[in-house]
């Protein structure tokens, strides 16, 4: 937990068990060699966003099936097909967080639509766009998406130790 964004972790009441469950969940669905697993393991702000997404999604899902994490990958995926709202709820938390961190850490403004298009599947963008949310999501241009990719890459490489003057 040391390398995550502590303020956000506390704000969402994420505890060590949530982190372990998120790791188990990602390992179950994607494997331990997946990009998501590596992002969470890396921590920092981008890793916090990935963790936050999985924790929020998993909390909803575990309320519906407390045995989800011991199911087979096939059964878990079948369960997820009927519970896509949990994924959408997680996107609603993840992308405003990324948007805020890019503004605070990098001093850049970027739209949620650009971030989703740059960082997730087209299906995620469509789900988020079609959901009845209060998030301002617009169809970005290719240039907006490329700029968002660059900003996300910069955020991924941001070293929190430099933020506090330690190394």
* Predicted local distance difference test score (pLDDT) of residue 99: 95
Task: Decide if 84 is inside a domain.
Answer: yes
Lowest mean pLDDT among 53-57, 121-125, 142-146, 150-154: 121-125
Q: Domain containing 143: what range?
A: 6-163
How many angstroms separate the CA atoms of 66 and 131, rounded? 26
Task: Decide if 100 is inside a domain.
Answer: yes
Task: Decide if 103 is inside a domain.
Answer: yes
pTM, to two decimals: 0.88
Query: What is the number of structural domains in the chain?
Result: 1
Lowest mean pLDDT among 40-44, 73-77, 146-150: 40-44
Task: Decide if 29 is inside a domain.
Answer: yes
* Predicted local distance difference test score (pLDDT) of residue 132: 65
Task: Decide if 1 is inside a domain.
Answer: no
Question: DSSP per residue over 39-79, as a string?
Answer: HHHH-HHHHHHHHHHHHHHHHHHHHH-TTGGGS-HHHHHHH
The mean per-residue pLDDT over the stretch 81-93 comes to 91
């Amino acid at each position: 937990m040391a390398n995550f964004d502590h303020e956000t972790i506390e704000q969402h009441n994420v505890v060590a068990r949530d982190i372990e469950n998120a790791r188990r969940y990602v390992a179950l669905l994607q494997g331990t060699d997946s990009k998501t697993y590596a992002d969470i393991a890396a921590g920092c702000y981008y890793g916090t966003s990935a963790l936050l997404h999985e924790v929020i999604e998993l909390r909803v899902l575990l309320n519906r099936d407390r045995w989800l994490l011991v199911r087979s990958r096939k059964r878990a995926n079948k369960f997820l097909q009927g519970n896509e709202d949990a994924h959408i709820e997680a996107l609603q938390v993840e992308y405003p967080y990324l948007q805020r961190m890019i503004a605070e850490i990098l001093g850049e403004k970027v739209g949620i639509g650009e971030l989703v298009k740059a960082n997730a599947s087209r299906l995620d963008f469509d789900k988020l766009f079609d959901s009845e949310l209060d998030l301002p999501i617009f169809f970005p241009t290719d240039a907006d998406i490329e700029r968002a990719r660059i900003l996300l890459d910069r955020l991924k490489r941001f070293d929190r130790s430099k933020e506090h003057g330690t190394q």
